[in-house]
Structure 1
Amino acid sequence: MKFHLFFCVLLLFCALPEAQCQLRAVSERVSLDDSSSIAQQKRIRKLIAFPNVNKIPYYQDKKKLQSIVKLAKNDKQEALYPQLYQYVREFGIDNFYKDNQLLWQLAVLEEQKGDTLAAILLYKLVLKHYREGVNLSLVREQIKKLPVENKDDYVPLKYYYELVEYRKEIDTLRPPQGVYLNMGTEINSNAGDYGPALSPDNSTLFFTTKRNVIKQGLKERENEDLMYSENESGYWMPAKALEGINSPYNEGSATVSPDGNQLVFTRCGSPDGQGSCDLFISDRTEDGGWSTARNIGKAVNSIYWDSHPSFSHSGDTLFFSSDRLGGFGMTDIYFTYKNNDGEWASPKNMGPVINTRGSEVSPFYHPAHDVLYFSSNGQLLNFGEFDIYKSYRLDNIWGEPQNIGPLVNGKGSEFYFTIDSQSQNLYYARSVEDKMANLDLYSFPLPMEAQPLATTYLKGTLKNEETGEPFSNGIVSIIDLDNGVEVAPKFLRADGSFEFQLINNNNYLIVIQGDEFFRLEEIFFLEGDKEIHRKVASVNSRLKFENMKFDNGKAELKTSMFADLDKMIDFLLDNPDFKLKIEGHTDSDGDPKFNLDLSQRRADAIKAYLVEFGKLDKDRIEAIGYGSSKPIVEEVTEQDKQLNRRVEFNIVRQ
């Protein structure tokens, strides 16, 4: 049962008039790129509309192609660009791998013209659909030079949570940590349970199970069936078989129409099927049950594998996955819609943004927002095998898929999932040790990267306040203070920059920490795209704080010192592999023995503060008084004496 129940860089043109597409324009504020102009966006959308996708398999005009080759050979780029641009626009599905070299040439020209956004999109398209014809390593090196997100931007979660745990005694504002919750024995069995789907009001959970077996003579075989569970007062009731739907064949991957009156699911091995697995449809009956399922029809189903259906908001557009011939890769995502006669139309391929040369499965259309989620092993930013992605639609064009981040996507495969209409929880199947056997259903708090409304940009930089040079060795954490939505932490980039997409009109805390600078904390309210550019003090191996001045002859700390001492606490908490040496110094006035004792008491007072208020291990801090034995300058003036009266902090790695 191929893929059943166990189983794109540009933008996609809907390929149909607005009235036929039956998909509402995205209501949230979404742009191709925050920094791009409207004119640039329109030009790029025109480039990647690809009107021939779903019309012809392959576009070729030998005369135009010969002209392009001649202009490229003679390095006549100004004349080459418009001809190449127009030729690429005419691509059919097969062009994306057969004429991959032309995409590469256009990407290079776009970069040379200074259109970084268009170049990135085209380079990604080359990599997603590459089979032969270009130097793949060269493309990857080229795209690395451009501002694209990659896996290395994200902090390994194990390390990050260890750091949070280390700080927990001193920090009062801690980032939330999502917890996977097994949905329990009321839902899960000792066999595989997967493929969740929620009713429009979130009150009923449908899912696929392998708990049932069918006897054939002396033998038994697994049989996939649909189950459902109803939620009562926040608790899922014991799952029941979906009577009227289950058969001796395999059923699963259900989706419910927005009005709750239709159920579309996959059935495999049925004699009335078109292929190995087909889409079937059932209507809600007056008694609350389901009518006898019927094949959705040969206009939609192929002689191959068709599965993983998902309704749009209107209920007259259906997304699904198929391995039928003529696609971009192993399995592609398609959509069908009801025509004016109320019949399902011939499916359309979702195009080169959503689909790749790999496999795209498990499409899921968010029940409250115009966002398409799906799983893929062919996208460029990938944390494991199959990852979950989201894509927004603007003016009938689907945006570059965004990985929903390492809080959800791990080293294994994530697919067969659903999200409730409030965007609070993600429901999906997980297995022990990333194996496909004995899957269980889990719920997980939907993190920021997966939130449909996380479309507002926070960008910024962190630089050295003395030199102006960027800090590149640091961790940026964002804490949602209003909703407690978890945000995956990221590293500062090489140029000291960082970037997040967050939910607008919320309060946040940003924390930037590292071993080269003092910790930055700042609370802000996000109201539209925001930039935070800050400069902080560098942590040298030997430090001297201007406010670390004691009263003459005394060793008591003053309130003016606390801010600097708290900075030191934060640094030591953020960097547990560092030790601190506190060195107290006096000028040469007075008795040398008294000065030595005074400098020691001052160093001890500082150590006591750090240990008490920072909850630091006292063995990490050494306090030594040197009296007047280590002057910085020869004492001639009173100013010279002030320079020699000091406390220095010497930071060393353990």
Structure 2
Amino acid sequence: MKRPFLLAIYLLLLLYGPFQSQGQQYKRASPAGLKVHKQIPDPVYQPDFPNLNKIPYYHEPRRLAAIQKLEKRGKYKQALPLLERYVQNFGIQNFYKDTHLLWRLGQLYERQGDTEKAKALYRLVLKHHRSDVREVTSHYDSLDKNTTDYYVPLDYYYELVEYRKSIATFKPPRGVYVNMGSAINSDYADYGPTLNDESQRLIYTSKRNVNYQGMETRVNEDLFYSKQNNGFWEEVQSFGKPINSIYNEGSACLSRDGQTLYFARCEAPDGMGNCDLYKATLQADGSWGGITNLGANVNSEAWDSQPTLSRNEDTLYFASDRLGGFGLSDIYFTHKTKGGNWARAQNLGPVVNTRESEVSPFFHPLYQVLYFSSRGQLYNFGDFDIYKTYKVQGHWQEPRNIGPLVNGRGSEYYFTIDAASKNLYYARSEPDDLNNLDLYSFPLPMEAHPLAVTKVEGTLTDSVTQKPLSGIISIIDMDNGVEISSRYIRPDGSFEFDLIDNTRYMILIQSPDFFTIERELSLQQDTSFQVMTTVIDYSIPLVFQNIEFDENQSTIKAGMEPVLDEVALFLIDHPTYRLEIAGHTDGLGNPEFNLSLSQDRANAIKQYIERKLNIPGDRIDAIGYGSQKPLREEKTDEDRRMNRRVEFTIIKPKKNNR
């Protein structure tokens, strides 16, 4: 039996009541009447390694032999706590020398049904392995396929947005990849932006100071700054001496009161390695002085650079390629002691750092979130991408790629955000010119926002078969009318977004298999819901019973427009599909008049949709059949009402046979 396809079925949307998050919420003081956003995500399991910065390598042959013996005998429950304690003693070298133990521990967790702990261990394996781990990759991908974010490619996404413009008011994300222009950028590399607390002064590094010494060219890295005036950045100025010198300076950050500047200086006589971290103090006359090396507790014999201060300015994060780390370069941190000195620097750990390179950390001035650039994380769009990680209950959470609106096919580094979290600033290079960095700035996308930690999750299923459906889901910020980067629905029909609490959103779901679904959501806490729709059967016409013309008339009535808009929206979302409109009347009256009337009605609907879409007429065919194709024999008024109808047949494009 064929299913009826009524509009009410297409738009059946069940929104279940939101559930209260069990995650910890940090509150901050706010004026009366202001709503306080949740500032951190719910904690996710991360293994603890207390020996990480104490010993380089942990090895106990007897304990390993005992664990192996239990595993061979199939006594997995007894082996699990022993292997767990062994792995907790890991030093940094264990992560690439004993990666197989992380894999075995993850398997034991999975055997006991603890999938989240297992996935955390598998992620560590994939980040730190130095051998063939195709088996681990395949296993992890299978385990994680229904929690992964499947981003829609930007080019295709903007095509979808373009098709919708004629009848939808939603706009795409604003201004991605906006170069800051010639007032800031030069013909040489410009990078390493940082802002003062009021976001009125931009400090960054540039290689524009080129010295020509005979036949040789010497490129010098120096610090520059620009002031913001009425929303525009003024012409850049050099810091000058004594900050800039014959040595290379760059990658600075400023204390909140503007009195202390931390920066990197390379190849200086008082340096301990390739590049060291220094600080300078603002003098009474407005000049900078008191330049001092941060010392052996912070600096090493290698490259140390790119400092950023924590919110309370008691912790300094930076990048270093010193020996003894996880990869080519790692993120390290040092904290102030009671005496006001910087303590011995420590590695930030295996969740953030990988066997590849992690660089350019940025700690948000208001929230417990660290941004950094990496090419060793699991989900990567190009070479270096920018990630964010939250510190929850003393553990850094799994880093999140901040999405394709920031991260492209090239490399992105040196990310910073203004204090109001409105705009981002970062350096990026084109894929074919990795050495020439420019500074870019544009409104902060949702994935990058520090407050985007309120979870919205749901599933899309067929209301008849209860099976998961595929499609593209977009979230629109209703307050700003801006779409958030879209994603494909996961294989199991689920989707998930991290959004900002106390904000109005529109959920938009598109697919070739059903009419677009729209639903407004006023987000006030973590929310879970189910979306149900019915798959279109293209072999039968779609009949909308609420398309009823006045007697003997072909004028489009206001009550028809919502239904016709749905049909128009489907054509916008599916630009390769065609539409056939068939008009039918009942058997009363003159057959020739009925035939003409049905043709006029079909033409009126065609003209309405074409005007709405501004599309070529060859995508829509309008045919009037009069009373030639009744659905039932007309014995009653209800029979005649059923025969008076408009049918829409959606014609899928033919597949090319190759």
TM-score by length of 1: 0.89
CA contact (8 A) 1:479 1:486 kept: yes
Displacement of 1:364: 0.7
Quote the Cα distance in structure 1 between the aligned partners of 2:511 and 2:553: 34
Cα deviation digits, residues 11-43 of structure 1 (max 9, x gap): xxxxxxxxxxxxxxx98242135xxxxxxxxxx
Which residue matches 1:468? 466
Larger deviation, residues 584-593 vs 354-363: 584-593
SS at match of 1:439: strand
- Report the equivalent of 1:480: 477
CA contact (8 A) 1:176 1:484 kept: no
Contact 1:603 1:625 in 2 (8 A): yes
C-alpha distance in structure 1 between counterparts of 2:418 and 2:483, whole Å: 17
Q: How far apart in 1 are the matches of 2:553 and 2:628?
A: 19
Structure 1 window deviating more from structure 2 (541-550 vs 289-298): it is: 541-550
Q: In the alignment, is residue 392 of structure 1 matched against residue 390 of structure 2? A: yes
The residue matched to 2:289 in structure 1 has which SS?
coil
- Structure 1 residue 631: Cα displacement: 4.1
CA deviations 1:486-519 (Å, max 9, x no partner) are: 5211111222221110111111122111211111
- Please show how residues 38-117 of structure 1 align to structure 2 within 5 Å: 44-45=45-46, 48-117=47-116
Mapped partners of 1:546, 1:27: distance in 2: 46
CA distance in 2, matches of 1:104, 1:599: 69
Counterpart amino acid of residue 460 in structure 2: L
Task: Please say if 1:238 is aligned against 2:249.
Answer: no
Determine the structure 2 residue equivalent to 1:222: 219
Offset, 1:311: 1.2
Distance 1:532 1:455 in 2: 17
Q: Which runs of 5+ in 1 are unaligned?
A: 1-25, 34-43
Unaligned stretches of 5+ in structure 2? 1-36, 654-658
Q: Relative to structure 1, is the Cα distance of residues 29 and 365 closer, same or farther in structure 2, using a 3 angstrom cutoff?
A: closer
Q: Deviations over 1:168-187 (max 9, x none)?
A: 12212334423433323322
Q: Which has the higher contact order (CA 8 A, sep 6+)?
A: 2
> Matches of 1:27 and 1:176 in 2, distance apart?
23
Aligned partners of 1:594, 1:238: CA distance in 2, in Å?
75
- Distance change in 2, residues 1:168/1:384 (3 Å): same
Q: Aligned letter for 1:331? A: S
CA contact (8 A) 1:258 1:311 kept: no
Checking the alignment, whether the CA contact within 8 Å between 1:321 and 1:362 is kept in structure 2 is yes
Task: Give the whole-Å Cα distance in 1 for the aligned partners of 2:544 and 2:605.
Answer: 12
CA distance in 1, matches of 2:72, 2:610: 71
| Structure 1 match to 2:179 | 182
Shift of 1:554: 4.7
SS at match of 2:127: helix
SS at match of 1:518: strand
**Shift of residue 463, structure 1, vs aligned partner:** 2.3
- Is the 8 Å Cα contact of residues 581 and 623 (structure 1) preserved in structure 2? yes
Residue 470 of structure 1: SS of its match in structure 2?
Answer: coil
Q: Deviation digits for residues 28-85 of structure 1, max 9, x if unmatched?
A: 242135xxxxxxxxxx45xx11111101111222222112111222222222222222
Contact 1:194 1:208 in 2 (8 A): yes
What SS does the aligned partner of 1:568 have?
helix
> 1:358 — aligned with what?
356
For the residues of structure 1 that align with 2:101 and 2:446, how far apart are their CA atoms? 37
Q: What's the CA shift for 1:557?
A: 4.2
Q: Partner amino acid for 1:359?
A: S
Counterpart of 2:624, as a letter, is G
1:113 maps to a residue whose letter is: Q
Aligned residues: 614
Q: Does 1:293 align with 2:291?
A: yes
Name the counterpart of 2:365.
Answer: 367
How big is each residue's C-alpha offset from its partner over 1:620-651, in whole Å with a ceiling of 9 and x where there is no partner?
11011223433445667776655544322111
Match of 2:169 among 168, 172, 175: 172
Taking only aligned residues, the RMSD between alpha carbons, in angstroms, comes to 2.3
Equivalent residue number for residue 143 of structure 2: 145
Letter in 2 for 1:525: S
1:527 paired with 2:524, answer yes
Spell out, residue by residue over 1:319-349, the C-alpha distance to the aligned partner (whole angstroms, 9 max, x if none): 1111111111111110011222222111100
CA contact (8 A) 1:454 1:502 kept: yes
The correspondence of residues 235-384 of structure 1 with structure 2, limited to 5 A, is: 235-243=232-240, 244-384=242-382
1:374-523 alignment to 2 at 5 Å? 374-472=372-470, 474-483=471-480, 487-523=484-520
Moved more, 173-182 or 337-346: 173-182
Match of 1:124 in 2: 123
Deviations 1:218-239 (A, max 9, x none): 5331111111222233332222
Per the normalisation by structure 2, the TM-score is 0.88
| 3-state DSSP of counterpart to 1:438 | strand
CA distance in 1, matches of 2:465, 2:219: 67
Q: Distance in 1 between matches of 2:208 and 2:555?
A: 72
Instruction: Note if contact 1:392-1:399 (Cα within 8 Å) is conserved in structure 2.
Output: yes
In structure 2, distance between residues paired with 1:477 and 1:154: 10
Contact residue 337 and residue 345 of structure 1 kept, 8 A? yes
Gap change, CA 1:464 and 1:551, over 3 Å in 2: farther
Q: Which amino acid aligns with 2:356?
A: G
% same residue: 52
Matched to 2:345, the amino acid is P
Match of 1:454, SS state, is coil
Cα distance change of structure 1 residues 213 and 594 upon mapping to structure 2, 3 Å threshold: closer
Partners of 1:498 and 1:224 lie apart in 2 by 46
The 3 A distance-change label for structure 1 pair 149 and 380 is: farther
Q: Is the 8 A contact 2:412 2:429 kept in 1?
A: no
Cα shift at 1:245: 0.7
Cα distance in structure 2, aligned partners of 1:353 and 1:617: 54
Query: Match of 2:249, as an amino acid?
Result: E
Q: 1:639 & 1:70 partners in 2: Cα distance?
A: 80
Paired amino acid for 2:209: N
> Per the alignment, do residues 463 and 281 of structure 1 end up closer, same or farther by CA in structure 2, a change over 3 Å counting?
same
Q: Contact between 2:191 and 2:437, CA under 8 Å: does it hold in 1?
A: yes
Distance 2:209 2:383 in 1: 29
Partner of 2:656: none
Amino acid at match of 1:392: Y
Residue 127 of structure 2 aligns with an amino acid whose one-letter code is: K
1:597 maps to which residue? 596
| Corresponding residue of 1:17 | none
Deviation at 1:616, TM superposition (A): 3.9
Q: 1:90 to 1:286 in 2, by over 3 A?
A: same
Match of 1:32 in 2: 43
The code of the aligned residue for 1:227 comes to: F
Question: Over residues 211-257 of structure 1, what are the superposed CA-to-partner deviations in whole Å (9 max), with x where a residue is unaligned?
Answer: 11234455331111111222233332222221211111111111112
Change (3 A) 1:484 1:471: same
